[in-house]
Structures are given as structure tokens and as C-alpha cells.
Chains A and B, each alone.
Chain A
Amino acid sequence: MIRNSASEMAVKLSNGEVTSVELTQAHLDQISAVDGAVHAFLFVDTEGALAQAAAVDAKRKNGEKLSPLAGVPLALKDVMAQKGIPTTCGSKILEGWRPPYDSTVVANLKKNDIIILGKTNMDEFAMGSSTENSAYGPTHNPWDLTRIPGGSGGGSSASLAAFEAPLAIGTDTGGSIRQPAAVTGTVGVKPTYGGVSRYGLVAFSSSLDQAGPCARTVLDAALLHEVIAGHDPKDSTSINAPVPAVVAAAKAGNVKGMKIGVVKELNGDGYQKGVRNRFEESLELLAAAGAEIVEVSAPNFEYALAAYYLIAPSECSSNLARFDAMRYGLRVGDLDGASAESVMNLTREVGFGREVKRRIILGTYALSSGYYDAYYGSAQKVRTLITQDFNKAFEVADVLVSPTCPTTAFKIGEKANDPLAMYLNDIATIPVNMAGIGGMSLPSGLADEDGLPVGFQIMSPVMKDDRMYSVGAALEAALLSKWGAPLLSKIPTLAGSK
């Protein structure tokens, strides 16, 4: 049962084949069985989840009209505030903090009766591509426990691949939903910036952060997308427009007559051979399904990574200033006679990990007077150029595509001491955040040389998120008929797994 898709579970729930309590319990059992090895979760809310499930079952029994995913369990990235539930962002500095409020995403999940199983592991404050930067230890990739599950949302993607949850929430600042999806053989979507409220998403880089759905199928992602998206007056940057018809697009999966643009700069050198092979195959399948494949160029993408590593750290240096031991979280050195300043300093010294400190220092420097124009100012100009590249490309193509990342999952520890190599993982995902458009990653098969999952990225214009669901669903269907079973059916069975 736990290997079903969320939409299959939803059908069984509404048929009465299974109750939400049974379904939730089955996932909690799977978590008990495998999470010791995977470490996808930082907190499992057994009681809360079962109570919520019982409430949904009662509503269903009373004949209340329920939303499509009512009663289906979900894993929540630990960067989302949930009332009364520990929210650490993978950092020591927030250890023990329980938010007194729900993020808008959580409020929407609860309103739709989706069961929140617990909080998933992540790189500290979403800074990283491997989940190795979590203060609470790394998450392991269920395809190969010695490898990383991607990051920052490695906990969410691993929970899907390990059948601990059929749905998850991620957040994506430079690829933190899509890259983990790619390396775990799951689906991850970064909606258009402003499509999903950021209220209650603990900010890393405000102008880039975006929450989105993670799932095992394109349709499941679309169903979850509709639940969490929409205008929120509590977030000024939230777009006040109807949510694109993503579920309809995912159900139809029609690419006939669509123009699909292959971004020249996001392929070739630096991309693993197996990654390129799966990408070419997927293009052929899409062409066979009736799409027209065209090549587009985005010359400014080569500066995206450099600009990203100025903008994101700059905003993070300011966003993370609030962690000062005054009002919540960790407090270190509060001894008799200690000044507020020394408590702040000690707490931040002890509470933040290396990567977070590295970025705070980078950002503080980039915003300093005398350096602002050269760094932050120039990076913003690059951002404009990248947006212009996308606009031009979207004049000739309805969506753009590329491999999600240059390689398959690497070994835990392999790049831990080489930040630049780590940053390169996000080279194909970062431009999407810089331009605020939508991006999806779905599995395109296993690389020949290592047998690990490869991701296929689809990018769609602002508030045209439905297009990537059309293309994603079409490709997913073509791959399924080619393979005969979903990619995740090939995942090695974890010890103790149900």
C-alpha cells in the first residue's frame, strides 16, 4: 500500500478500502523500520498525525465533502513553521523552538486534511546540495545508503524514495527541490516565484526561496501544488492571480504541437555521460509524442552561479541576523554579568554550522559599502540578463529543458570539503530561481555507468506552471510504457522495509 501513488491512496480512502488512520500507521511503521538507516526525518509527530487522520476518517464517515488528497500523509521540510511542532531548519540555533503559528503552506495542508507525519532533514537553513550540512547528521539516499539524497531538501526526497511518505513539501532557492528529486528518482516542482506563499518559510534568500510539491508522480505533484498555491495577503511577493491549471495539465499530459527548447548551455561538457544519454532519450520520446524540439541559447547562464553566490549569501546575512538568542532558540553564555552582545556572539558562534557562517560572511562582505556595486549590484544586473535570456528563449519555445544536474548522486563526504564542487551541482537549476520562473524535475531513468537515477528538468514561464506539468506527464507516460513499471520499482529494498 505504501508503494502506491498519493492519488491511488486517495482513491482507496474514498472507496473505503482503507482508512486514513491505517494508511498513516502504515507510513509510521515504515518510518520506524527504515529511518534509522535513511534518516529522512528530524521529528515524527506520531500522535499528531494519527489524531489528524482519525479526524479525517470521522469527517468522511459523516459524509462531509473532502478535498482530493484528504487523509493522505505527507512529510514536511523542517524549514516550514508548524504550530507547536519543533522547527529547526537543520540548525542547532533553533533547537527546541516550537513556532506559535502555522506557515500558510501548513495552514493550507491542514485545511485540505493532508496528514503531516513529521519534519524532514535538510542542509542547515537550506544551504547545501547534499543534506550533509544538517546539524543533526546527513540523510542517506535510499538508492545507495552511502550516497547523498541531494539537498537541501534531501530528507523530503529520501522519504519519498524510501516509501516513508507519498508526498512531501520542499523549498527551492537554487535547486533544493529539483536536485534531490533528480538524485532520488522522484518528482519535484519549484513553482513560479510568488506562486506559493512564503509566510512561515524560514527565509534563506527571500528573493529566491520558493516552496513546492515533492511526490513520486507528476499528477501527485500537481494535486499537492493546487493545495499549497494561491495568493496570500501575508506575503507581499505572493502573486494575486488564479493558480495555473496544473492538475488538468498533468491529467491530459498533452505535448502535441508544443515547442520544447533545449538550452545549449545546460548540456555537454561537465555533464556525466549517463545523464546526457537519458536526456537525449527523453527528447526522442517527447518528439515521438508530438512535440517539436528546438535549440535555444542562453549566453548569460554562465554567470548565473557566480551571481547566485552573491545574492543568496547577501540576503541570508540579513535574514539570519534575527537569530540572536534574545527571543527564541539556543542561548549560549548567558552567565552572570555577560552582556547581550557576548551572548549574541557566542550563540551565533556555537549555533551556526560552517557553511552557514561561510555564507553570512560572504554576504556581509558583498553588501559592505564600497563593495556593494561591484558585488551585489553587479549580481542583480546579471539576474536581469538571465531573465532576458529566458524571455527570448520563451519567444521560440513553450518550455525549456535540460538535465536537472550534471551528475548522479555522489558519495557522502566526497565533496564536503570542496564548496565550489558542491556549488556546481546546481548549475542547471539556479537560473530558474534567478528569473523567478517555474521548474520541475522528474526521473528519466538510471545512468548506465552507475545505475543511479537521472533527472530531467522542465522550465516554464512565469505563471505558466501548467506547461511543465503537460510536458512532465507526457514524458512520464512515455517512460512508463517503455519501462513497464515506475523507476522506483527498481530501487533496492531497504532492510526491514514493508
Chain B
Amino acid sequence: MNLTYDDVVAKYEPVLGLEVHVELNTESKMFCGCSTVFGAEPNTQTCPVCLALPGALPTVNEKAIESTIKIGLALNCSIAPFSRFARKNYFYPDMPKNFQISQYDEPICVNGFVDVEIETDEGPKVFRIEVERVHMEEDTGKSLHVGGATGRIHGAEYSLLDYNRAGIPLVEIVTKIVPGTGKYAPEVARAYVAELRDILRSLGVSDVKMEQGSLRCDANVSLRLIGAETLGTRSETKNVNSLRSVERAIRGEMIRHAELLNKGERVVQETRHFQEDTGLTRSGRSKEQAEDYRYFPEPDLVPVAPDAAWVEELRAALPERPSIHRKRLQEAWAVPDKEMSAMINADVLDVVEATVALGADPAKARGWWLGEISRIANEKDVMIKDLTISASDVAEIVALVNAGELTDKLARQVVEGVIAGEGKPAAVIAGRGIKVVNDDSALMAAIERACAAQPETAQKVRDGHVPAAGALIGAIMKDTKGQADAARVRELLLGHLGQATN
């Protein structure tokens, strides 16, 4: 039991296979018009079709097909000119028809790939993850097992069924087997899921919230001795609800498999459930006796045959790949890696880009969003995107500072005011009476008052002792209630006292 990860990777090569389920963000379900909004009262978003009442028939949600094709294109897949839905038959109470409409041997997208870059001992390295297929299916309802210790169906006193989720469009993205990642397997898997998440987000086809289950990853892991040809027995870990968990689950399974193999035992082919608290997996359903789903083409639906011209239109309209987009921004803005990561982690890259697009200097835009605005969001414990300040507000504030109409200090007050709901920057400035005093005659009057009040200090400056000017500047700023531009005050003061200003 004391095997370290290094021991494992010294002896074995991990082979991965990843299945990612994505809930599409269409307004209606896959095969009926019911709403897909998350969190509604149980069984309020149902109809004869998604409850499988006798006689009801499915019809395909065209938007879901469009979203799936976009995903396929973004993952470099071929789009099948002809694909079909199939019935996957098995009995389970939360599945109303007792079959799931899915796709079997004729999926809509095939043969794609995703490149991910991770940091290795030899520097950054790109791994190619080959995508076998992307297909459409419908989600099941949700069972809530009440009573019993585990929340599982066995031992429960009774179960409640909520069919709101039944029929929500799902897209399943299945990789081919992924060999050759060696000790980096957990990081590669994490990077792949992160990359998928970013791509799906950029396509706008899903909420991609792992914690809400709108993006779920099943990780298949097997080990074989380094150099061996045959694949080892795999386990499939479900319930992996965060990027960190993807990495932990795979690392954990690799160690568990290695321990079994080292003892001469065999790995059982089974479904395992990842447990967030321990980072370990526990045994689920055994897949030793493969379930026979009796797939056959869904006779209630006609084949999907997307028009080639339409597919090309969708391809032409694809957004730039997020990773490429980021690289391009980083170069254009000349941002160091560390700052770039900070923006990505704080999820402000899009808003910074929008601010720059409105004319703000990249460094200034980044500074505001990562600095003052992040600080306020932290203080309020909310997401930055939930604050009322927009890219155009920040761009306007940056412009006012550049024009000398605001000082940095005043600009912070304006930001604060916008976030506090006092309106757009102009309204905050007017409302709070914020004004830079840049009328030289008014400043000169204040300078003369200060010199008259502190004649000895003024004389020191006249005698060439420039640092003494600080006390005078402080008095002038106080006199102008902080609204004067300190740099201008200094310039005028030193000129007044016969000193060079540079």
C-alpha cells in the first residue's frame, strides 16, 4: 500500500480513455418543447413526450443538432452526411421510455482531435488527444433515494423521481485510447477537459459547469507494463466533478491498479465512483458481464442529414480556438506568462479584451480588472462578472485619466461608485462632485497662500533644497481638497520658486 506515484510510472504505462458528457444550453429539451431551466420544482418541466406517455412521439431539436455540429467542427471532426438515432434499451425507473434515444454506429461527428499543451520536465509539450466520436443523446430523470445510509437505491426506504432532467440534450465526446502520456497522464487528462470546457464555452453551446453537472467526465484508466503491447483491464471512474478531480481520480486509479498488479491480482472491469473527500474511488456496477442494450435504429425519427452548405456556414462562423486566441492576445499585449495566467484564473480575459477593444491601453485595462475591481469583488465575495461595472465603464475611466480629467486616486472613487450602483462614470463624477482642479490660476492662488503661510520652507526651496517642496505640496493639496493634480502642483510650485522641473 505504500506505492508512490513515481514507483507506478517507473514500471507501468497508463492508457487513458475519456468520455465527456455535456449538457447543451438549448432552451427546450432534445425531443420535446419542455423548458430546460435548471432548478425548477420537480416534475414541472414535463409533457407527454418526456414522460413517455403511451402514443407520444419524439421530434428532434434542430438547435441541438446545430450545437453538436459546431462542437464536432471545433474538435476537428468530420461531420457525417447521414447519421441516425438509435434506441439503447434498458430498464431503469428514472428513464421514462425504458430506452434512451442515443446514437450508436452512425454518430453525427467522427475522427477529430484536440491538442493540449502541458509543462513537462523538458519544457512545454503538446499532446494530441484523438476524438473518436461526438454524438447526441438525451439525459435521464433523477432519482432521489430516501432512507438507507448511502443514498443509493439499495437499502433505500423509497425513491422519488424527478423527470425535469429527462430529455435534456446531451452531447457525448469520446476519445480514442490515449497512450504515451506516461507520468503526465493525470495532467494531460485535466488539460484536455479544461481545453474542452474552454472550447465549449467559446462556442456558447453549454454552461459547462462541472459542479452543476452540465459537464461530466468519465475517466477510463488501464495500466500495462512499459513496452507491452496488449492493453490492461480498465476501470471507468464516474462522478468526477472538477478539473482537479479529473487529475486526482486518474492518479488514484493508477496507484490502485499498480498495487493490484504488483500483488499478482487482477483489475476488475467495473464502474467506480470518485469520492471528492478522500480522492479515492469506490466500486460501482461490475461490467464483467457486458449489458446488452439491444441497440437498433430509432424508428420514430428520420435520419439526420445535415446540408453540406450549412455545415460549411457553421465552420466559417466558428470562433477562434481559445488556446490560440489566448496566445495571440498575450503576444499583442506583451503580457508576461504570470500575468496572463492571473487573468485566466480570475476569469477576466474576455472583459479585459473588451476593454482594450474600446480603446483602453492593455496594461491599464488589465490593471483595473485584476486590481481594484478584483479587490472589490473579493471583498463582496461575488464573481467579477456579477459586478455592475462593464468594459465600457472601465474604458471610459481609463480615457478620463489619460486626458488628465481624473487622477488615479479619483478614478478609484469613480470605479467604486459605478460598482455601488451610482450609475455610469459620468453620473458618478457629477453625483460625487469629483473634479480635478487644473485651473492654473486657482492653483497659483493656493501656491501663494502656502508660500505665505510657510515662508521659511519656501525660502529653502528657493535656495535649491528641492525636497523641502513636499511640505508645501501637501498644504496645497489639502487646500484644494485633494482634487488637484499633484504633478501639476509640483511643476507650478517649483517654477514659482525658481527651480527647474524635470
Contact = CB atoms under 8 A, between A and B. Distances in A.
Interface of A: 80-81, 87, 89, 94, 97, 99-101, 103, 198-203, 205-207, 233-237, 314-315, 317-318, 321-324, 326-328, 340-341, 344, 364, 367-369, 372, 376
Contacts of B348: none
A404 B302 CA distance: 30
A87 B54 contact: yes
A268 B294 CA distance: 40
B299 A207 contact: yes
Nearest to B51: A327
Contact of A326 (B48, B161, B299, B302): B161
Nearest to B60: A236
A89 B296 contact: no
Contact of A318 (B96, B99, B161): B99
B252 interface: no
A344 B296 contact: no
Interface string B41-57: 00000001001111111
Contacts of A237: 299-302
Nearest to B59: A236
Contacts of B306: none
Contacts of B48: 99-101
Nearest to A233: B59
Given A100-B48, A236-B302, A344-B91, A322 B296 contact: no
B179 interface: no
Interface string B301-312: 110000000000
Contact of B292 (A200, A233, A369): A369
Interface in B310-331: none
A321 B88 CA distance: 12
A97 B59 contact: no
Contacts of A233: 59
Given A318-B296, A364-B294, A376-B296, A202 B55 contact: yes
A179 B161 CA distance: 43
14 contacts: A87-B54, A99-B54, A99-B55, A101-B48, A203-B55, A206-B300, A318-B87, A318-B99, A321-B89, A322-B96, A323-B54, A327-B52, A340-B153, A369-B292
B93 interface: yes
A235 B55 CA distance: 11
A236 B294 contact: no
B482 interface: no
A451 B294 CA distance: 48
| A interface SS class | loop
Contacts of B161: 326
Nearest to A101: B48
A322 B89 contact: no
A368 B48 CA distance: 29
B98 interface: yes
A372 B87 CA distance: 14
B273 interface: no
Contacts of A341: 91
For the complex of A and B, list the 5 residue pairs with the smallest distance between their C-beta atoms, beginning with the closest: A321-B98, A367-B294, A206-B299, A207-B299, A202-B54
Given A237-B302, A321-B98, A340-B93, A372 B296 contact: yes
Nearest to A343: B93
Contacts of B97: 321-322
B89 A367 contact: yes
B159 interface: yes
Given A100-B48, A101-B56, A315-B299, 10 more contacts: A81-B55, A87-B55, A103-B55, A199-B55, A203-B55, A205-B299, A235-B57, A315-B296, A327-B51, A328-B54
Contacts of A368: 292, 294
B58 interface: yes
Contacts of B299: 205-207, 237, 315
B96 A236 contact: no
Nearest to B156: A339
Contacts of B89: 317-318, 321, 367
Contacts of A203: 54-55, 300
Contacts of B296: 314-315, 318, 367, 372, 376
B53 A369 contact: no
Contacts of B57: 198-199, 234-236
A378 to B, nearest CB: 13
Nearest to A348: B91
A311 B180 CA distance: 46
Contacts of B91: 321, 324, 341, 344
B55 A369 contact: no
Contacts of A317: 89, 294
Contact of B98 (A236, A324, A364, A372): A324
B54 A81 contact: yes
Nearest to B31: A236
Nearest to B88: A318
Interface in B271-312: 292, 294-296, 299-302
A270 B299 CA distance: 33
Contact of A324 (B93, B153, B159): B93
A81 to B, nearest CB: 4
A89 B97 CA distance: 17
A234 B31 CA distance: 10
Contacts of A340: 93, 153, 159
A498 to B, nearest CB: 34
A167 B48 CA distance: 28
A201 B56 CA distance: 8
Contacts of A318: 87, 89, 99, 294, 296
A328 B163 CA distance: 14
